[in-house]
Amino acid sequence: MRFSILPLAIGLLPFASAAPLEKRALSQSDTDTLQLALYLENLEFSLYTGGFNNFDDAAYTAAGFPAGFRENVGVIAQQEGVHIQTISTVLSNNGVTPVPKCQYTFNYTDPTSFVALANMITTVGIGAYIGGATNLTDNAELLLTAGSIVTNEARHDTFLRDGLKASPFPTPFDTVLTAVWAYNLAQMFVVPGSCPSDLPIIKLPKLNNTTPMVPTDIQTPKDGGSTLSFSWDPSTFFVPQKDGTQLYIALLNQVTMISFVPIATTPASSGSITVPQRVAGVGFAALTTFGSGVDLNGLTQFGTLAGPAEFVLG
C-alpha cells in the first residue's frame, strides 16, 4: 500500500495560507521556531516512512502488534508529510526558504525496536512544540496551528505506546524542550554532513546513554529506582574542568522539573546513577557541574557540559 499526502495536505492548506499569515511578516522568533519544527518533522517523516516500508503486515503481526498496525504507521507518515507541507507553505508564503531534509540513520532492526524508537523521537517533537509555543505568542494563527499539530503528535505517541503494551500516558505532564536541546537530540539520527544547510543552533558535546537505547521492559511504568548509565568525552567540553570537579546528571522530566544526581568526578568519562522516585516515563539528561539552582534555560545557555540524552523508564 502506498500513501499520497496530497488530499490531506490540500485539506489543511487553509491553515498555512490563511490571510493573517500572508499579510503579516514572520518575526525572527516565529521563523526560528518553524524551521526547527520543520527540521524535526522531516526526521519523523523519514522514520515513519521507513517503519512502514521496511516491514510488512506479517512482520508486525509476528511481533505481537494488532491487525492494521502497519497501516496506521503509514497514516502517521502521511500526516507528518502534511505537517511538512503546512509549515513549508507558511515559511514560503513569508519569503523564507524552508530548511531542507537531511539523510538519517535509525538503529531499529524489527517492528518492536522501530516502535520503541518512534516513541522516543516523537517525544522529542512533542517537547519541542511545547517549548516553542512561548515563541509564537505574538502570532495567534501560528500558535493555533502549532497547538493543533502537537495534539496530533501526542495521539501518534499514544498509539505507539499502546502497541508496545506500555502505558499510553505514563506521566501527568509532558516534558518541555528548548530549541537547543531538541536540535541536539535530533543529531543522534542525522548523518553527519548530510544536511544541505544546518540551523543556526549550537551543537553540544555528546552525552551517550549507555543503557539500552530501545528498552524491552517498558510495559510497566516505573517511578524512579532504575539505573541509568552514561558516557562522555571530557576533551569535547567547551570549558575544561579541573580534576576532582563533581559532575551531576540533570534529569529533565514533566514540564521543566529537573532533578540533579551526582554521577562522577573529573576526569571520569562515564558513570551510573539511580533515578529519583519522582522521575518517570520519558525524560532527558544532561551532564553538568551544577547540583542545584539552575533551570532549563540556564542549563541550555551555560550549564550543559554534554548532552542531552534521552531515557525511557516506562
The tens digit of pLDDT for each residue in 227-275 reads 999 999 999 999 999 999 999 999 999 999 999 999 999 999 999 999 9
Q: How confident is the model at residue 193 (pLDDT cuts 50, 70, 90)?
A: very high
CA 68/CA 61 separation, integer angstroms: 9
Q: What is the pLDDT of residue 217?
A: 43
Over the chain, what is the mean pLDDT?
89
Q: With H, G, I as helix, E, B as strand and everything else as coil, classify residue 75.
A: helix
Q: How confident is the model at residue 16 (pLDDT cuts 50, 70, 90)?
A: very low
Q: How confident is the model at residue 19 (pLDDT cuts 50, 70, 90)?
A: very low
| First CA to last CA distance, the chain | 33
- Residue whose C-alpha cell is 516515563: 281
Q: Is pLDDT of 214 > 50?
A: no
Q: What is the pLDDT of residue 241?
A: 96
**Average pLDDT rounded to a whole number, residues 75-104:** 97
Q: How confident is the model at residue 313 (pLDDT cuts 50, 70, 90)?
A: confident
Cis preceding-peptide flag for 267 (omega within 30 of 0): yes
Who has greater pLDDT, 135 or 13? 135
Cα-trace Rg, the chain: 20
At 124, give phi and psi (nearest 5°). Answer: -60, -45
Q: How confident is the model at residue 314 (pLDDT cuts 50, 70, 90)?
A: confident
Q: Is pLDDT of 9 > 70?
A: no
Share in percent of the chain as helix, strand, coil (round to 5) = 45, 15, 35
**Average pLDDT rounded to a whole number, residues 120-145:** 93
CA 118/CA 124 separation, integer angstroms: 10
Q: What is the pLDDT of residue 24?
A: 55
Q: How confident is the model at residue 139 (pLDDT cuts 50, 70, 90)?
A: confident
Q: What is the pLDDT of residue 137?
A: 82
Who has greater pLDDT, 230 or 15? 230
Q: What is the pLDDT of residue 226?
A: 87
Q: Is pLDDT of 154 > 80?
A: yes
**Average pLDDT rounded to a whole number, residues 289-294:** 97
**Average pLDDT rounded to a whole number, residues 60-70:** 97
At 199, give phi and psi (nearest 5°). Answer: -80, 150
CA torsion angle for 291, 182, 104, 88 (degrees, to 10)? -170
pTM of the full structure: 0.89
